[in-house]
Amino acid sequence: MVNNFEIFEKNIGYIFKNKDLLKKALTHTSYAYENKIESYERLEYLGDSILEFISSKYLFENFKSLSEGEMTKVRAYAVCEDSLYKIALKHNFSDFLYLGKSEKATHTNKKAILADSVEAVIAAMYLDSQDINTVQNFVLENIKEQVEFASKNVGVKDYKTVLQEMLQIHGEVLIKYNIINESGPDHDKTFTAEVECDGKKLATGIGRSKKAAEMEAARKAIERLN
């Protein structure tokens, strides 16, 4: 972990007046528990709503040909865990996160932690600046590409459907998804799913819900089959 907020602020293009607020946005629950301080969980909650508002407004104003249902699908893709994870990687969030010893030892669910921290930083940026336009600039700069892609592929089927069609092209097969692992506290569960075809294991995936884990397993299976 690098404790140099100047580098982080340069990465995201915003300088915090309240550095304690920034530190809280980068504090995972494991570190907070070990050090008896507040984690980024409440900020993450607010950031999720801000992210949804900004992306919804952008879609409403700039994609007038999309229906309400299509805008919902595009938004879901643009602000999903994978997209937020890519934002975190782009700005090197992992170098600045405060993680507890337990989390550092297990390295569990890194993708979810990084995605959550992006939402927390978005909320912290809003509270610090008291200016939605400042936050909007950061958000749109980082999700425009995903929005453009999703808007052009809004009718694309989900991974489980695509995998099923690929595997059944020559006839009926038995496709099964199994949850093979479940870890973490009740409020922050991580699931590992495995997909198999006619008893043959194809791939595994990790997600914050059983459905997300199954979808990730299907995505990895498609990659391997391709």
pLDDT of residue 120 exceeding 70, the answer is: yes
Cα 5 to Cα 1, 61, 75, 169: the distances in Å are: 11, 35, 30, 53
- pLDDT at residue 156, rounded to an integer: 62
**Looking at 9, 34, 41, 48, which residue is catalytic?**
48
Domains and CATH numbers, the chain: 5-152 (1.10.1520.10), 159-225 (3.30.160.20)
Whether 82 is catalytic is no
- For the stretch 48-94, pLDDT in tens is 999 999 999 999 999 998 889 889 888 988 898 888 999 999 999 99
Whether 48 is catalytic is yes
Question: pLDDT-derived band of residue 155, with 50, 70 and 90 as boundaries?
Answer: low
pLDDT of residue 221 exceeding 70, the answer is: yes
- pLDDT at residue 123, rounded to an integer: 98
**Looking at 44, 119, 214, 216, which residue is catalytic?**
119
pLDDT of residue 161 exceeding 80, the answer is: yes
| Amino acid occupying residue 61 | E
pTM for the full predicted model: 0.70
> What is the rounded distance in angstroms from the CA atom of residue 126 to the CA atom of residue 116?
16
